Structure 1
Amino acid sequence: MEMDSTAAANYASNWFNVQNVPKSYVFPEEVRPGELPPVCHTLPVIDITKSVQADTVQHIMKASREFGFFQVINHGVPAEILLDTAKVLRDFFEMPEKESSDSGGKRNWVYGGSTSFTRNGFDLWRENLKHPCYPLKDCMEHWPEKPTGYREVVSTYVTEVNKLGNTILQLISRGLGLEVGYFDGISGVEILSANNYPPCPDPSLTLGVLKHHDPSLITILYQGNVPGLQVLKDGVWISVGAIPNAFVVNIGNQLEIISNGIVRSALHRAVTNSSEARLSIAAFINPSPNFIVEPAQALVTELSPAQYKPTLYKEFVNGTNAFGPHTKAMQRA
């Protein structure tokens, strides 16, 4: 999965190749990452094919309470699908003119270069491709036509990640004590977001993605062999290791609300590194737009009253605080 040094250099040069970090990318001291911590291997790694499912559920619930994040291995998504998807996305980012990937028909995808992501006057060190995935058959007809095979490769990836997402939600549902099939029919991969983070001359000064919470049920992230994800744990940023062919799963705001606070959505961000280009592929598994997000009735008792007021999912994600802490983005009950 790793690129050799020549390929990485060519990959980065198509977007950004400088000796120093330009001023517009240098974040204020209180925001910039500073000296990056070493990669941490304490984030739970869960084999979801283990025969004793009760143990798997227990491990997932423990990780979801303590970290809001975990990694899954032996997840059933074939390695060749991961490799093919990463390649076609790299090919997209390498194209000199991204707009040439659209034939002029109805387009549902959005590409943003580095200066498209300005936050408080500062640019993020990344470029991004994002498009909807639900319903898949309809959406894929308006995805990029180039590079060749993009639609076929990425739709296969989305289908496989959908299956994985359903499996993870079933295990979490069991761990919460909800009825079998609680999430059936109300969730799926709604958005795919791919990021390219070229090597950075000084990773301590800038960020690829600012700290945020995800407004999803869960997010399933593929980051290949190059780490860059950081999670806030007990007030300290920890760098998540990149395990070949693994997925990182994080709890989103919606699932924390449905769980009535049992599992938690954690702050996270993306940093850069000075030697390697990094590709990440995030699949956001969301409720349907008209789904009423509220604590599951089975989890609301006299001793554990509802912590959040009901809201339509589409109203929540359209709010200005959708990526902020749920306690601010939603009114407490």
Structure 2
Amino acid sequence: MEKLVSSWFSNKTLPQSYIFPPEARPGNHVIPRCNTIPVVDLSKALAHDRIVIVQQILKASQEFGFFQVVNHGVPENLVTDTMNVFKEFFELPAEDKAGIYSEDLKRPCRLYTSSSNYDHENVHLWRDNLRHPCHPLEDCIKIWPQKPTRYREIVATYSIEAKKLGLRILELLSEGLGLGSGFFGDKLSESLLLSVNHYPPCPDPSLTLGVSRHCDPNLLTILHQGDVYGLQVFKDGEWIGVEPLHNAFVVNIGHQLQVYLN
């Protein structure tokens, strides 16, 4: 537990073990915000514009590898409640989180800091992470955090809505690829993993990173970034910032899905 950034960050200078080498750190330069990142209005997929939306999603997936969705059907109050309960979890006293904290990679529900390779990495990431499976829900919910007391109820509802959204996007993509209805609806999309990153206030964010550059191995990643401008993507040889949109989700195409798009 003593390794968690959230347990010791207050009024501290940035430890040397969190300072990235100059070529890898963000520095003080401003990352340009991209206003050309595709934004898909999913409400139009229910009407006569469905074909247009299918092609819009397919094009964004092939050219960008990601897009944002609005009017996605996940209730805004549910999203707000879920983000709040995550915040409440990370603000719990250490003793209430001790049962979740683990460096065991095989543990399905665990709280850890930096990455799964903490003891062997040269520089640590400025983040704590909570992750656990969400499917099948009736089995997975038994291993979720018991505090805050409303965690299981709210996150269960959120995970159901997130899975519906993911399957909806995959269905639209399968139409665009000519794969037929329900192609991604079975074993390919059965697994659902929740990953919550917590970034405590950093004394010098120009020297460290919350998450390093990476690609996702799965089919889809559905990300809620809130109103915080921090997500960056690499396109056409440069890093660009993703402008947070109100009540939107960022959809990232993972390696498994890229096989069908290439």
Provide the TM-score with structure 1 as the length reference: 0.69
2:36 is matched with 42
Q: Secondary structure at the match of 2:55?
A: helix
The alignment of Structure 1 onto Structure 2 pairs a total of residues equal to 245
1:178 is matched with 179
Indicate which of 201, 204, 216 corresponds to 1:202.
204
Q: Considering only aligned residues, what root-mean-square deviation do their CA atoms show, in Å?
A: 2.0
1:28 is matched with 21
1:159 is matched with 160
- Alpha carbons of 1:244 and 1:63: their partners in 2 closer, same or farther (altered >3 Å)? same
- Alpha carbons of 1:95 and 1:114: their partners in 2 closer, same or farther (altered >3 Å)? farther
Q: Secondary structure at the match of 2:43?
A: coil
Provide the TM-score with structure 2 as the length reference: 0.87
Higher RCO (C-alpha 8 Å, min separation 6): 2
Larger strand fraction of residues: 1
2:104 is matched with none
Q: Report the CA distance between 1:14 and its aligned residue.
A: 5.6
Q: Report the CA distance between 1:163 and its aligned residue.
A: 0.5
Residue type at the aligned position of 1:99: K
For residues 112-127 of structure 1, the aligned pairs below 5 Å read 112-114=112-114, 118=118, 120-127=121-128
Q: Secondary structure at the match of 2:61?
A: helix
**Deviation sequence 1:1-32 (CA, Å, 0-9, x none):** xxxxxxxxxxx976522464221111112211
Residue type at the aligned position of 1:28: P
1:89 is matched with 86
8 Å CA contact retained: 1:25, 1:206: yes
Q: Report the CA distance between 1:57 and its aligned residue.
A: 1.0
2:66 is matched with 69
In 2, the alpha carbon distance for the partners of 1:18 and 1:236 equals 34
8 Å CA contact retained: 2:6, 2:90: no
In 2, the alpha carbon distance for the partners of 1:168 and 1:15 equals 40
8 Å CA contact retained: 1:216, 1:255: yes
**Deviation sequence 1:41-83 (CA, Å, 0-9, x none):** 2211110111201111111111111110100000000011101
Indicate which of 75, 78, 84 corresponds to 2:75.
78
- Alpha carbons of 1:115 and 1:131: their partners in 2 closer, same or farther (altered >3 Å)? closer
Q: Secondary structure at the match of 1:122?
A: coil
**Deviation sequence 1:109-128 (CA, Å, 0-9, x none):** 11013587637311101111
Q: Report the CA distance between 1:229 and its aligned residue.
A: 1.1
In 2, the alpha carbon distance for the partners of 1:224 and 1:198 equals 15
In 1, the alpha carbon distance for the partners of 2:162 and 2:246 equals 16
Larger helix fraction of residues: 2
2:240 is matched with 238
Q: Report the CA distance between 1:131 and its aligned residue.
A: 0.5
Residue type at the aligned position of 1:182: F
8 Å CA contact retained: 1:32, 1:207: yes
Q: Identity percentage over the alignment? A: 53
In 2, the alpha carbon distance for the partners of 1:72 and 1:38 equals 21
**Deviation sequence 1:260-303 (CA, Å, 0-9, x none):** x2xxxxxxxxxxxxxxxxxxxxxxxxxxxxxxxxxxxxxxxxxx
8 Å CA contact retained: 2:230, 2:241: yes
Unpaired stretches in structure 2, ≥5 consecutive residues: 101-106
Indicate which of 89, 97, 117 corresponds to 1:99.
97
Query: Following superposition, which runs of at least 4 residues in structure 1 exceed 4 angstroms of deviation?
Result: 12-15, 114-117
In 1, the alpha carbon distance for the partners of 2:8 and 2:137 equals 30
2:10 is matched with 17
In 2, the alpha carbon distance for the partners of 1:218 and 1:233 equals 18
- Alpha carbons of 1:36 and 1:20: their partners in 2 closer, same or farther (altered >3 Å)? farther
**Deviation sequence 1:144-191 (CA, Å, 0-9, x none):** 100111111101000000100011001111111111111122214521
Q: Secondary structure at the match of 2:241?
A: strand
